[in-house]
Amino acid sequence: MRRFGLIIIAAALVWGVLALATGAADLHIGGGSDGATPVGSAAPDCLPGSIQHSAALPGTRVDVSPAPGTVTANPATQISFLGAPASQIRSVTVVGSDSGTHPGRLRAYSQGDGASFEPSAAFTSGEDVQVRATVGAGAGRPVSFSFRVDDPYPTNHTAGFGNPRAAPADYQSFYTLPGAQPPILDVTVPDRDPGAGDIFTTNGPGAGQYGPLIYTPAGRLVWFQRLQGGEAAEDLNVQSYEGRPALTWWRGKVLDLGFGQGEDVIMNSRYQTIARIAGGNGLKADLHELQLEPHDVAYITAYNPIRCNLRSIGGRRRAAIVDTAIEEIDLRTGLVRWEWHSLDHVAASASEVEVPSNGAPWDWFHLNSIDREPNGDLFISARSTWAGYQLQAGTGVILWTLGGTKSSFKLGSGAALAWQHDGRVQPGGEVTFFDDGSNPPIHSESRAVRIRLDLADHTAELVSSYTHRNPPLLAASQGNMQTLPDGNTLVGYGGVPAISEYGSDGGLLFDAHEPYDMIFYRAYRRPWSATPATSPAVLASLNNTGEETIVHASWNGATGVTSWRVLAGGKGGALAPQATFRADGFESSITLPKRFAAVQVQALDGAGSVLGSSATARVESYAAALAAR
């Protein structure tokens, strides 16, 4: 095991702090042919005069997006009406101050509680849009509201993170999974909580191959899906979808601005993709959060970089800001049921990140988690303001703020946050975070915290703090804290790719890490049972003398295999059982004391029943097998 006094990931890989932009990037802002803002002029005034926006339509039960009065609507936005059946939303007219009247169609949500008006053409950047409609049963009630369209900052030329090749000592390789190089998970404190399940995480961005990863607590690889072409995977988790456990994860490009543009993926227990969530309103799904809810509803994060005049807060006239959004998506139709924007509700002056002097996009808020409460309220975490916010269901109004420059609570000793991730509300009035404490460093080490809120007295007290003592870890980015069903706590250190489980007394029950030149976003422990739709893989070769047959078998993603049966035969002959051997890793091997021409393997469960069979494989030469690996 490699030991370090204090492990900190390189600042170049920090997601939560704005990456330094080049002078060329500054020239790109506001410019000419790719946007509405003429070269040399000021960017639009995107900082709202008020942060008291509400999505509620007065006199109705309907909430709308874009929110009335917002200045951050994307040109490709829908107009969402949530809270009444589609039959009670009528006579929708939409008029842009520059683009004129917009025809379109009204499409109902599959949940039966609203509809989106989809304009047939995009709006014009910078224009004001007036919406009128009749809402309600019977004659209904006439309603109207307006919003302003933002000026998107193009990211098509924005760089992603570098992806150097990993050191050979940092990854595994297998005969039966050619080309794949999943990271080694080094277990340093053996598991003492076997009921907690397997380890779910990812690799990247940074060194090594990208993809979602499942390991057993012993560090044995269960599943790896290699991504190529610069695509990264983040936030692998197990959630409930249509009443069954499903894998959820994000795939796409991670920009060096600190957010992702891609799609969320839902897979069944056969590793088949059964749904994709691309985002809506002209925004792409971001890597930071996907929460599945009943009735085919999902909450996702989406980042919206826009051109913005930041002179009023010390920035440039021709600048850009990264607005962040929550989108509530109807999974059956892909429609955006509801959308919330940070600039509508939090003052940009609350940010702990300095305004870039070169005009590069300012990541002032950095939304990194969404937690839906039983009553529909949402609790979110914003890294760049050092605060968590409770949002009222529907209206989006902030009910209270924990931490930051305008906390609703008096913070007790140790309860202040810095650059935190993964805010969650727990039963009994506690909230949890992974408190990075860096970057730049504010704390001496990262920690997972439980904070008890007293909503009557407006106080917040630190209940418990979990830190990694040997060695201490300071993560410059990413990370999460998972409260397990038995009350234990799993901590993923993100920018320092360690995964630790703690008991209620703070005792270390499990500890593991990926190679320290790699990073991940989050890590979870979940029970998981899967039988892949693909067949088991087999590779067989003669040994170097040509008198024995070496057989390698694996089944990427299978969880129930306890042993393998080998069937083999001569050239043109029938295959017959030759041996059964224990499945002792991701890939298991046996040497048959005889020369064969063809083999097949069968995956067996604990009762000896066949779970799956490979195709029949020709036995390779010894040299060919070495080359295949």
For 254-295, the pLDDT digits (tens) are 999 999 999 999 999 999 999 999 999 999 999 999 999 999
Looking at the domain assignment, is residue 357 inside a domain? no
CA 147 to chain centre: 29
Looking at residue 406, its pLDDT comes to 96
Looking at the domain assignment, is residue 415 inside a domain? no
The Cβ-side half-sphere exposure at 494, using a 13 Å CA radius, reads 33
Single-letter amino acid code for the residue at 298: A
The CATH number for 591's domain is 2.60.40.10
Name the token pair of 106: 């009204």
- Distance between CA atoms of 475 and 352, rounded to whole angstroms? 18
Ranges of residues in the chain with a pLDDT under 70 are: 1-41, 625-629
Count other Cβ atoms within 10 Å, centred on residue 595. Answer: 15
**DSSP secondary structure string for all residues of 516-575:** TT---S--EEE------SSPPEEEEEE-TTSSSEEEEEE-TT-S---EEEEEEE-TTSPP
Give the contacts of 161 (CB within 8 A, at least 6 positions apart). 13, 204, 205, 206, 232, 254, 256
Q: Domain span at residue 82? A: 33-153+231-304+319-350
Looking at the domain assignment, is residue 567 inside a domain? yes
Rounded to a whole number of angstroms, the CA Rg of the chain reads 27
Looking at the domain assignment, is residue 552 inside a domain? yes
Count of domains for the chain: 2
Looking at residue 624, its pLDDT comes to 72
Looking at the domain assignment, is residue 437 inside a domain? no
Looking at residue 629, its pLDDT comes to 59
- Distance between CA atoms of 18 and 358, rounded to whole angstroms? 12
Looking at the domain assignment, is residue 16 inside a domain? no
Angle value at C-alpha 149, between 344 and 37, nearest 5 degrees: 115
Looking at residue 621, its pLDDT comes to 84
- What is the pTM assigned to this prediction? 0.93
What strands lie across the sheet with 459-466, from one edge to the other? 410-411, 459-466, 447-454, 430-435, 421-426
Looking at the domain assignment, is residue 391 inside a domain? no
Looking at the domain assignment, is residue 222 inside a domain? no
Give the contacts of 478 (CB within 8 A, at least 6 positions apart). 15, 16, 421, 436, 492, 494, 495, 519, 520, 521, 522
Name the token pair of 80: 């969402």
Question: In a 10 Å sphere around its CB, with 0-12 CB exposed, 13-18 middle and 19+ buried, how is residue 248 labelled?
Answer: buried
- Distance between CA atoms of 224 and 222, rounded to whole angstroms? 7
Single-letter amino acid code for the residue at 535: S
